[in-house]
Chains A and B, each alone.
Chain A
């Protein structure tokens, strides 16, 4: 038991910190802020290609797939550093779908698409949810029907985030409507977003972040676009979601925000005399936040360690997701109380300070994390079943 990084891991952190400091030009920082942490702008794309050229994409992929072969712990350090500088790294493509393609894709996928992902030239959106298939994802209706050597795809997806600037959609479709169990009739396809049958309308969210509804109208693709086994998509979906869940909780940015608010409250003088941080309730809030974020850190460290040692327990992965997502919301609220009404000033408002307007936006965007990537109710079901051996209700 020793919860400290090795000197080699600290050296990697310093190397990354120096690299990202030079990558994040003021113009790129401004573009990323404008794009609400989603990326997709021209400078963002240039920086991604640069990282691809410098070998910083696919750091955790095995070297045989063209990656760096880092352990999950080192990958975690990478993620923490890139989040710290505020670059919206396309994790879903590089860390979540990408490795699935490298592992399960056919020759065409491995030859044509995987190298482009590693070069930072290809981005993939995820098409799972539908208007009537959310948490009960296996009831999805979008279909792929065999026609000669091709497949013809029809249907609608919801919450297809980033799709408006991605090159492909990683699409879950029904290929066997007569399967005995509904999750056994699903397959995974890569659909080009450039196809004339592909369209997309924006969905604007509380946090200001854009997501999309996407439509698939008689899109014809070759059999090369099928990933993994026919009707074997469910395994790829759950595998991908497990990978996604692991990159959802990150403690770097929130620890930085915490430090920023402490420094602000230490410097800010109140007109009646004294500093903001001298108020007893402010110290109490800060103490609570400090303890809460510390455990976020410990949970993600342990998770990365457990993945490196290949001993990650399912209940612990779900516990990390529940604790992290609900912890973020709690911390945003308590730090927001400290900055007061200034925490209602929208970014760009002339009176807004950097930390207060960050909290203003985070408070609005945070609600997605308790249901995104697998609703917390489902995670709690997993915890009580896998962690405490409690029987589960039938659904």
Chain B
């Protein structure tokens, strides 16, 4: 049992923190507010790629650093701490990882070096209208026709779809679930921009008989296993992002209340304020432990469905409670757009509602308990 970080893990953490704290300032973030520009800082993205962080968990022969999922999650935690305008989760986790794990050698050689270098942008479409279970596509369908797969249907909330070179998605066919890399320039693809709380660039993706070459398929029939694998890693990555963001919001509130004076004393000295912050501390600690547990199990390819569900429950609950507590103890300052907290609250909400909210995860965990799974050892 080891709760500390290895030398390499600390180096990844420090490298990411250095670049992100230098580059991601409130002024830089304000460029993207209200979708004035797509929330994608390509110069920063390139810098992170050059530093090796976006390929942290890609094998060295494809140009990556050759680390594991833990190191990647620590990078993503730092992206959350700075709420950097980069596609770290959708590119590095949801799309790049399954290509490396399940793609053909030909696909890996074509995609991974460019994806690591920051030249090719990947993303994944994991949600459908009224169906947020990535493992069980219903709306998107696939049909084999000669050397192509013909796709029709809709995916929603696809992050960075308009910027990406390939979109990984799953579709239901008569034989099972297919997973493909889609070129969004292909005929029959429509991208309808969606505007969301966090200003993340997102699109609704509508496919009308789009032909995808079979060579771009990760699997034609075994997509359930692939999407389970991807879904759990994406959920764990969102937990890591939420951990960074909630830790930062909490410390901002602790520092603000220590300086802000009312009745001639710092408001932090009121027990009601100190205790609300102490509750945030406990919540963030629970999220931290649950996330690190899930990530470290996934990094060793150990079954971790229960641990991921639990981490995502904490990501939702901690995010919600920290968001409202930190705004509250800031008074009006917390919601003032000239002060940095408000963007954190948008991201805490974003992460809470992405890849299954707390109620949904609790219910899924409860259903597994009813089937005799997930008991304590």
Contact = CB atoms under 8 A, between A and B. Distances in A.
Bind each other:
yes
A299 interface: yes
7 contacts: A255-B376, A290-B369, A298-B289, A323-B282, A388-B278, A391-B268, A393-B269
B275 A390 contact: no
A305 B293 CA distance: 14
A363 B286 CA distance: 24
Most-contacted residue by chain B among A283, A380, A390 (CB, 10 A): A390
B1 A2 contact: yes
Interface residues of B, number: 57
B290 A391 contact: no
Contacts of A73: 1
B212 to A, nearest CB: 38
B361 interface: yes
B376 A293 contact: yes
A391 B258 contact: yes
A3 B296 contact: yes
A200 to B, nearest CB: 36
Contacts of A280: 363
A309 interface: yes
A377 B363 CA distance: 33
Contacts of A266: 370, 372
Given A2-B296, A284-B363, A291-B313, A380 B3 contact: no
A9 interface: yes
Given A1-B5, A1-B70, A285-B366, A380 B278 contact: yes
Contacts of B292: 1, 3
Contact of B363 (A2, A4, A283): A283
Interface of A: 1-6, 9, 73, 255-256, 258-259, 262, 266, 275, 277-278, 280, 282-288, 290-291, 293-295, 298-299, 301-302, 305-306, 309, 311, 315-316, 319, 322-323, 377, 379-381, 383-385, 387-393
Given A1-B9, A305-B2, A390-B277, A290 B370 contact: no
A283 B373 CA distance: 12
Contacts of B336: none
Interface of B: 1-6, 9, 70, 250-251, 254-255, 257-258, 265-266, 268-271, 274-275, 277-279, 281-282, 285-286, 289-290, 292-293, 295-297, 300, 306-307, 309-310, 313-314, 359, 361-367, 369-370, 372, 374-376
A387 B3 contact: no
A1 B296 contact: yes
A349 B258 CA distance: 55
B1 A383 contact: no
A291 B370 contact: no
Contacts of A380: 271, 274-275, 278-279
B365 A287 contact: yes
B366 A384 contact: no
A323 B282 CA distance: 7
B277 A290 contact: no
Contacts of B290: 291, 294-295, 298
Given A3-B2, A391-B266, 8 more contacts: A286-B370, A290-B306, A290-B369, A290-B374, A294-B290, A301-B1, A384-B274, A393-B271
A273 to B, nearest CB: 15
Nearest to B277: A384
A393 B271 CA distance: 7
A293 B313 CA distance: 13
Nearest to A298: B289
Contact of B271 (A277, A288, A306, A377): A377
Scoring B1, B4, B277 by chain A CB atoms within 10 A of each residue's CB, the highest score goes to B1
Nearest to A381: B274
Contacts of B255: 389
Contact of A389 (B258, B374, B376): B258
Main secondary structure of the interface of A (DSSP, over half): helix
Contacts of B275: 377, 380-381, 384
Contacts of B367: 283
Contacts of A306: 3
Nearest to A316: B285
Nearest to B377: A255
A380 B300 CA distance: 36
Contacts of A301: 1, 3
Contacts of A4: 1
Nearest to A308: B1
A136 to B, nearest CB: 15
A319 B285 contact: yes
Contacts of A385: 274
B115 to A, nearest CB: 26
B289 A295 contact: yes
Contacts of A387: 278, 281
Contacts of A255: 376
A197 to B, nearest CB: 41
A69 B5 CA distance: 26
Contact of B310 (A275, A283, A294): A294
B374 to A, nearest CB: 6
Given A291-B313, A388-B251, A1 B3 contact: yes
A319 B282 contact: yes
B365 A3 contact: no
Contacts of A277: 369-370
Given A288-B362, A291-B310, A392-B274, A315 B281 contact: yes
Contacts of A319: 278, 281-282, 285
Given A287-B369, A380-B274, A384-B278, A256 B4 contact: no
Contacts of A390: 254, 257-258, 266, 268-269, 274, 277
Contacts of A291: 290, 309-310, 313-314, 362, 365
A226 to B, nearest CB: 37
Nearest to B299: A1
A347 to B, nearest CB: 23
Contacts of B281: 315, 319, 383-384, 387-388
B4 A309 contact: yes
B366 A286 contact: yes
Contacts of A5: 1
Nearest to B300: A2
A383 B282 contact: yes
Contacts of B9: 1
A262 B269 contact: no
A388 B250 contact: yes
